[in-house]
A = this chain, B = another copy of it.
Amino acid sequence: MTLQQKIDVFSIMRPDLERVDQRVASAAELDFPVASAIVGEIVRAGGKRLRPLVLLLAGRAYEYSLNALVTAAAGVELLHTASLIHDDTVDRAAIRRGKPTLNSVMSSGGVILVGDYLFAQSAMLAAATNSPRVVGVFASTLGDICDGQLHEMFDGHRLDQTRDQYERRIYGKTASLFAGSTEMGAIIAKAPEEHIATLRQYGSHLGMAFQIVDDVLDLTEGTQDLGKPAGNDLLQGTVTLPTMIYASQLDETSPEMQRLKDVVEGENVGPELMDDIVTSIRRSGAIEESIASASSYVAKAKSAAEVVPDPETREMLFDVAEFALRRLK
């Protein structure tokens, strides 16, 4: 058995992702120095570019024009950034990606407009692909994202929500953009219809896994790692999968259930009680059960990636899927 070099998708794709970054940076420029500097920082701080990455990968095995893929990938990343900016305002978050959010230094009106401006830029990039089908996917993805965020806002605090409701919510909020990204990449590269549909599934499963892992990390890690306080979702009144699973184990009339309800309903329970709740969730087995659910989505994503004819691209799609779980260490 020879020692096989593990494929590293992030190094292989770096040159293409750098082209995406350049497009994103120039589209995100604003006439207003202060706002432009902050938006530039948000864009530059922006993690691993997972959505552009899967868009590029989904197109890579077919007849692709790199320029069209890069344009759409920049559009997708900007849509994501615009959506984060508005979402931070909704959550009143002060930190994102370890940096101050735009709404920590600007009026909420300004943040709304800057977010809208970036939406407009992202829509222009989608339109620049000159494909009505890509634009259609782009627009309906934006609709799905808003639907997910609205459901999070209106129903996300319910402790008695069903697994289906949770999944619909995170599909909209996160998985829809991954699904849209791989679908757009495959459409641009003229993949066969069946491959387009299967690559969309890949993106969807991957996005579900990422969001579940995010929801787990929110409870298992502290400020340094995520740039947010631990248990932040719960403090915002958002019930995620681990909390739902934990709540399902509690007696409706127990004191544990009562204090959980208090937190979710926005009562200030103080940091000690909050720590207690987070510790109880961690000890309940809910984290492990959630990770199992994420793993099952990763397995489905990998199975969908089998459709891709080119072995190197397929391996890279596997690697991205595994990366979702690697973040758990």
Contacts and interface: CB of A to CB of B under 8 A. Distances in A.
Nearest to A116: B146
B136 A113 contact: no
A142 interface: yes
A135 interface: yes
A139 B117 contact: no
Contact of A138 (B30, B117, B123, B149): B123
B143 A86 contact: no
Most buried by B among A114, A123, A124, A154: A123
A278 to B, nearest CB: 24
Interface centre among A31, A113, A121, A131 (most CB of B within 10 A): A113
A119 interface: yes
A248 interface: no
Contacts of A177: none
A66 interface: no
A142 B113 contact: no
A131 B130 CA distance: 9
Contacts of A32: 150, 154
A110 to B, nearest CB: 6
A102 to B, nearest CB: 13
A293 interface: no
Nearest to A155: B32
Given A123-B138, A124-B140, A140-B124, A153 B89 contact: no
Contacts of A140: 120, 124, 127
Interface string A86-109: 100111100000000000000011
Given A108-B89, A150-B31, A130 B132 contact: yes
A117 B119 CA distance: 12
A108 B120 CA distance: 21
Contacts of A150: 30-32, 35, 110, 113-114, 117
A136 B126 CA distance: 9
Given A113-B86, A153-B113, A120 B136 contact: no
A147 interface: yes
Interface of A: 30-32, 35, 83, 86, 89-92, 108-110, 112-117, 119-121, 123-124, 126-128, 130-132, 135-136, 138-140, 142-143, 145-147, 149-151, 153-154
Given A116-B146, A117-B150, A120-B143, 10 more contacts: A31-B151, A86-B112, A112-B112, A113-B150, A114-B150, A117-B143, A117-B146, A123-B123, A123-B139, A124-B139
17 contacts: A89-B109, A90-B109, A90-B113, A112-B112, A113-B146, A113-B149, A113-B153, A116-B145, A117-B143, A120-B143, A123-B123, A123-B142, A124-B140, A126-B135, A127-B136, A127-B139, A130-B132
